[in-house]
Structures are given as structure tokens and as C-alpha cells.
Amino acid sequence: MPDPDPRLYATALREIMQAAREVPLGFFRKALDVESKADASPVTRADRQTEERLRSEIAKRFPGHGILGEEFGGAQDAEFLWVIDPIDGTKSFISGHPLWGMLLGLLHDGKPLVGGIQAPVMGEVAWGGPGLGAFLNDRPVRVRKVDPSDSFICINELRRVLAKEPQVAFALMDAGRTVRESADCYSYLQLAAGWVDGVVDYGLEPYDYLPVLPVVEAAGGVMTDWQGNPLRFGSDGRVVAGSPAVHAHLLEVIARAGG
């Protein structure tokens, strides 16, 4: 069998994300009941209805494909597997902060084929994959080349890193010229667009990083776990991404701090 054409799936991915965009926007900054999951993270009707719409749109186009989503689960062993995070950044969403996102990725035989990071409020979609390049809406984007000493670093989930691995947290705070506490998937869109140079993250699940990975790599970046290992199902959720030079620098910072 020939390899699948990623261009076909990139077009479908953008159509699917656009078709689902209206669902969370219909709930945003409106009264909304918030529940707690078993891990104490918040969830709302908006999360569930957005995933339902994404699943419906995928099933209409690709009825034989598998789907794995944050809210409704799914198997991991399908040849073609769509991975969904319907609202990445529910805390941002319920607090009225606009930089929450929607993540969608497609794996073929376990390898990322295409991925997308949508910021519905901003009207932005970063997307890409192997052999496609990376784009912000229709504009090609690349990570920027900068010396690590001049880099802009985003630390997602800094509070959790401080609680669990304080030495790493303090080391990362001095890892670039500008270091900013941040959250959620928009940091990776910024990285792919060349607006920041590195992202360090903590406590992620596969639906958080697998849709993002092909976008970052197609933009010329590197994205691994904290030991520099490839991200896959079963990774420990500690992620570092950046331009090649900044990624290598961040790995050294983490290693020296005992991470």
C-alpha cells in the first residue's frame, strides 16, 4: 500500500476544526456549570459537545478511522487514529481567557501524519505535518533562529513544576533572556509562528502533545520528553519543545537540575 497523502488529510483536518469551532464559542464567557474529573481537572458541557461535534465530523468523512478523545476515550491501535482535545485549557475557557485551543491530530500506524492547533477566539489555526511544512492559517511559518541566551521561553504549568521538581523550575526561570509563565496549547502556536523560542510543559496526556507534535516539527522545531526521547503513547507527560538550538539548551538545563 502506498503511503497516505498528508495533503488530503490536512485539508480535512482544517475543515473538521472549522466545522466544530462554533460549538465552544457558543459557550464562551457565558454561565456554565463546571464539574471536576477524577484528577480534579475541570470539565464542562462545552468540552463534551465540542468533542461530539469533532467525532461526528470525522466519522462523516472517514468512517473506518479510529478516534481517541479526552472526554470519551477510544482505542489506540487503529491504523488511522484521530486524537482530540476539544478544549485545551478549560481553566482558561471558564475564566474568560481567550487563549484556549482545540487540538486535532491524525496518526498513521502510530506516527503523526498531520496536526492542528486552533485558537477559536483568535481566528487562528496552526497546522502542518511531515512533508507539508507548517502554516498559520494560510501563511507558512517557521521557528526562528536565535541564540539560546537571547531566547524567549514559555514555561507551562510552572506551579506544578515548582511543586514537583523545584530545582528544575528555578533553573528554567533563568534559561533565556525572557522567561514567561504560560499555559495550554497557544504557547506551541507561538513557537511554530516564530514568536517565542521554547516551551517546557508538565503533566500532559497524549491528546495534549500528539496533535501538536507534527506542527512543531513541520515548522522546523524539535519536541521531545525531558530526556530527549520521542513522544509517543506512554510518554511521562513532561515535554520540551523549541528551535533545535533552544531545545538542546533546555534539555541541558533540565538535566543539570536533575530533571
pLDDT in tens, 83-102: 999 999 999 999 999 999 99
> Which CATH number is associated with domain 6-141?
3.30.540.10
Cell representation of residue 228: 530527549
pTM of the model: 0.94
Q: pLDDT (tens digit, 9 = 90+) per residue, 112-163?
A: 999 999 999 999 999 999 999 999 999 999 999 999 999 999 999 999 999 9
Domain 148-256, CATH among 3.20.20.100, 3.30.930.10, 3.40.50.300, 3.40.190.80: 3.40.190.80
Going from N- to C-terminal start, the domains of the chain cover 6-141, 148-256
DSSP string of 116-160, one letter each residue? EEEETTTTEEEEEETTTEEEETTEEE-PPP--GGG-EEEEETHHH
Q: pLDDT (tens digit, 9 = 90+) per residue, 167-180?
A: 999 999 999 999 99
